Structure 1
Amino acid sequence: MTERGWGRRFEDPIKIGERVLVTLLDAGEYIAALPKKEHNAPEWQAAMEALLLVAEGGGPTTFARIGVLRALNRHYVPEFNPKGKEPHSDRRKLKRDQ
């Protein structure tokens, strides 16, 4: 039978600086210890909801892990390169274009 509850472990622990979140309880305590302003951010609220659903209702711990990682990386904006990929310089022509 699969383990249930807050003691369930993540498949891959979440590393936050020197701290490592190994179980659902570790992640819940980390979120609870955040400053109130940050704790009330929608991303952290969604992460906590995912933790509750996984801990109390079962399901894969990956869902809760994704929620926590999305909240941790909420300020990350990927760099957009409008130029895109460089075209291949040795591009072959189609027979119809010759």
Structure 2
Amino acid sequence: MTERGWGRRFEDPITIGDRILVTLLDAGNYIAALPKKEHAAPEWQAAIQALILVAEGGGPTMFARIGVMRALNCHYVPEPNPKGKEPHWGRRKLKRDQ
């Protein structure tokens, strides 16, 4: 029988610096220890809701893990590729286009 409640483990633990979040309770304690301004951000509120839904309502722990990971990476903005698409110059033409 699978474990229920806040003691459930993530399939893949979340590593934050030197800290490792293994269970839902670890993630909840980590979020609770955040500064109030950061804790009140919409990303962290969504992560909290996901944790509560998984801990109390059941379901895959992956949902809670995704919520926490999205909140952790909310400030990450991927750099655009300056090269963009490669031009079509120099490519072989199809026989029908000749």
TM range (shorter): over 0.9
Q: Could you tell me how far apart the structure 2 residues matched to 1:28 and 1:83 are?
A: 42
Partner of 1:38: 38
Shift of 1:91: 2.2
Q: Which runs of 4+ in 1 moved over 4 A?
A: 87-90
Q: For structure 1, which runs of at least 5 residues remain unmatched after alignment? A: none
TM-score w.r.t. structure 1 length?
A: 0.92
Letter in 2 for 1:70: R
Shift of 1:85: 3.6
Q: Could you tell me how far apart the structure 1 residues matched to 2:18 and 2:67 are?
A: 20
Letter in 1 for 2:35: P
TM-score w.r.t. structure 2 length?
A: 0.92
Q: What's the CA shift string for 1:35-69, capped at 9, x where partnerless?
A: 00000000000000000000000000000000000
Backbone CA RMSD of aligned residues: 1.5
Q: What's the CA shift string for 1:1-20, capped at 9, x where partnerless?
A: 22110000000000000000
Q: For structure 2, which runs of at least 5 residues remain unmatched after alignment? A: none
Give identity over the alignment, percent.
Answer: 86
